[in-house]
Amino acid sequence: MIVPIKILVSIAPVFLFLACLVYFDSYKLVRLRSIVQAILIGGLAGIACFFLTTWILRQFDWNLAFYTRTISPVLEESIKAGYLVFLMKRKKIGFMVDGAIYGFAIGAGFAAIENIDYLIALQSSNLFLWILRGFGTAVMHGGTTCILAILSKSIAERRPSIRLIDFIPGLIIAIAIHSVFNHIFLDPRIMTVIQLIILPGIIAVIFYRSEMVLRDWLELGLDTDVIMLEFITQGQISDTRIGKYLQSMKDKFPGVILADMLCYLRINLELAIRAKGMILLKGAGFDIPVDPELNAKLSELQYLEKSIGKTGRLALAPIIHTHTRDLWQIYMVKNK
């Protein structure tokens, strides 16, 4: 069989699945450039695993079956997870559906490199073998990283900051799925069919739940932000619980710092409202207009962060957006 055809058969299914994820994402918050970057980084992870595997097998007298069933899943899933940790730490993933797309893109890039390596090593002309690798192994790699991203994002959403321990449950499950797949308890054809039935179902449920969460967040969060911003701009903040909270800190902070804290709160609200408006426009299919004052607001926000200091930001934590999803919306405005 012609080599390009074998490559296409072995990697096309995972990229087709990824295209479906992107298509069914209503709000399209993950840009094409970011998806391509995730695919490339997944490919680099595949290359790194190839060299690490070669080195490990030379250093240790391990049976290949033992390595692929126990060591390989841990190594490969951990390396694939590295970029997800980076993305979430940098607040570039807002919702579980975004994590699913990033995770599957990383896995797709990894699977493409691995299948090309197998193609070169095996030199098999058996079309069925490459169909199984395309619908089986390649989709498995995308699916495990996708599940890791979904679970990690779900756990991280419950707290204001992201910790490495948040990734452990998802990583353990990804490793377990990978290891079970490599053990081949059943006929490879049966395992491939089971995987193609279960994985789309899991991701479909996640997509539905994530979009419901996104709609609720937009509706409730936007109303709250607008009302609070109106109180600040109309000088009525002192009559609210937030105003009374700020007044209670008069003895702890100088008047200038309190004024900067109020400005910091106002700009956060303005950027939060803009981010939610951007999402609504994208969901409706409209282009996002350029805000000529955006850079000035971001610069002022950065200045105010330094002015009020860490203590001031901690004092504002009970009333300002510190949830990981709310912090992500500031990133979104910066990188639109």
| String of DSSP letters for 234-300 | TT-GGGSHHHHHHHTTTTTS-HHHHHHHHHHHHHHHHHHHHHHHHHHHHHTTPPPPP-TTHHHHHHH
In the structure, what pLDDT confidence band is assigned to residue 257 with cuts at 50, 70 and 90? Answer: confident
Q: What is the pLDDT of residue 233?
A: 78
Whether the Cβ atoms of residue 145 and residue 22 lie closer than 8 Å to each other:
no
Q: What is the pLDDT of residue 76?
A: 96
Q: What is the pLDDT of residue 140?
A: 87
Whether the Cβ atoms of residue 131 and residue 6 lie closer than 8 Å to each other:
no
CA-nearest of 139, 153, 285, 275 to 206 is: 153
Q: What is the pLDDT of residue 51?
A: 94
For residue 88, CA distances in Å to 103, 296, 334 come to: 11, 26, 16
Helix, strand, coil percent values for the chain (each to nearest 5): 80, 0, 20
Q: What percent of the chain has pLDDT over 90?
A: 24
Question: Pick the residue with more confidence: 198 or 71?
Answer: 71
- Give the separation between CA 99 and CA 88, rounded to whole angstroms: 9
Q: What is the pLDDT of residue 124?
A: 59
| 290 has a pLDDT exceeding 70 | no
For residue 187, CA distances in Å to 191, 240, 302 come to: 6, 66, 58
Q: What is the pLDDT of residue 272?
A: 76
Q: Convert the pLDDT of each residue in 98-138 to its tens digit.
A: 899 999 999 999 999 988 887 777 665 566 666 777 777 88
Per-residue pLDDT averaged across 254-275, rounded? 81
Q: What is the pLDDT of residue 264?
A: 82
Residue 292 corresponds to which amino acid?
P
In the structure, what pLDDT confidence band is assigned to residue 64 with cuts at 50, 70 and 90? Answer: confident
| 184 has a pLDDT exceeding 60 | yes
- Give the separation between CA 103 and CA 172, rounded to whole angstroms: 15
Q: How many residues does the chain have?
A: 336
Instruction: Calculate the average pLDDT of the chain.
Output: 80
Q: Convert the pLDDT of each residue in 205-233 to its tens digit.
A: 777 777 777 666 666 666 677 777 777 77
Q: What is the pLDDT of residue 70?
A: 92
Whether the Cβ atoms of residue 14 and residue 138 lie closer than 8 Å to each other:
yes
Q: What is the pLDDT of residue 323?
A: 53
- Give the separation between CA 115 and CA 101, rounded to whole angstroms: 21
Q: Is 31 helix (H, G, I), strand (E, B) or coil?
A: coil
Q: What is the pLDDT of residue 179?
A: 92
For residue 189, CA distances in Å to 129, 157, 174 come to: 10, 38, 21
| 79 has a pLDDT exceeding 90 | yes
Q: What percent of the chain has pLDDT over 70?
A: 81
| 326 has a pLDDT exceeding 60 | no
Q: What is the pLDDT of residue 110?
A: 95
Q: Convert the pLDDT of each residue in 21-48 to its tens digit.
A: 888 877 777 889 999 999 999 999 999 9
Q: Convert the pLDDT of each residue in 158-180 to its tens digit.
A: 776 788 899 999 999 999 989 98
